[in-house]
């Protein structure tokens, strides 16, 4: 295995595990969610069934993304096209999330962490993928 292939696998696995941490929020109590919400400097945690539903389903979607990334990391050559697509998608997603954070007036620290970090992960993956040997990285 080429060194660049091994490094890309490692990075994908780290990113996948980070996304899988979102599973914690799926199983949190409403009180725990409210406590973290308050800690983050946001307004008081809203009431209503849909709030918990959206928080849990969004967390579950991040975890699903993490599981997919872990699966793709098992063979970065075979899944190169999907990894490339997800890398570009992360760039677009990061920009869109940044715009949403601005529109919704999220705290400044949130704005400069969430979207830019997501976009940066896509950029890192794309740059690492370019380092793969030519035969392992078809155009």
Listed in sequence order, the residues at least 6 apart from 12 whose beta carbon sits closer than 8 Å to its beta carbon are 69, 70, 72, 73, 76, 83, 125
Residues 118, 138: Cα–Cα separation, whole Å: 25
pLDDT on residue 82: 97
| pLDDT tens per residue across span 27-40 | 999 999 999 988 88
How far is residue 113 from each of residues 54, 67, 117, 120, measured CA to CA in Å? Answer: 21, 22, 6, 10
| pLDDT tens per residue across span 100-115 | 999 999 999 999 999 9
How far is residue 137 from each of residues 22, 84, 86, 124, measured CA to CA in Å? Answer: 31, 10, 15, 15
Residues 123, 15: Cα–Cα separation, whole Å: 13
Whether the Cβ atoms of residue 98 and residue 111 lie closer than 8 Å to each other: yes
For residue 138, name the pLDDT band (cuts at 50, 70, 90). low
Question: Mean pLDDT, to the nearest integer, of 44-65?
Answer: 93
């Amino acid at each position: 295995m080429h060194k660049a292939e091994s490094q890309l696998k490692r990075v994908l696995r780290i990113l996948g595990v980070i996304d899988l941490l979102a599973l914690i929020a799926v199983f949190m109590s409403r009180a725990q969610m409210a406590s973290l919400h308050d800690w983050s400097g946001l307004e008081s945690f809203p009431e209503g069934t849909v709030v918990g539903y959206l928080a849990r389903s969004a967390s579950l979607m991040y975890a699903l993304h993490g599981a997919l990334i872990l699966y793709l990391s098992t063979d970065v050559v075979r899944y190169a096209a999907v990894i490339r697509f997800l890398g570009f998608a992360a760039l677009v997603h990061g920009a869109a999330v940044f715009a949403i954070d601005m529109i919704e007036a999220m705290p400044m620290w949130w704005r400069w962490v969430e979207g830019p970090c997501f976009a940066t992960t896509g950029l890192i993956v794309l740059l690492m993928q370019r380092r793969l040997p030519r035969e392992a990285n078809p155009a």
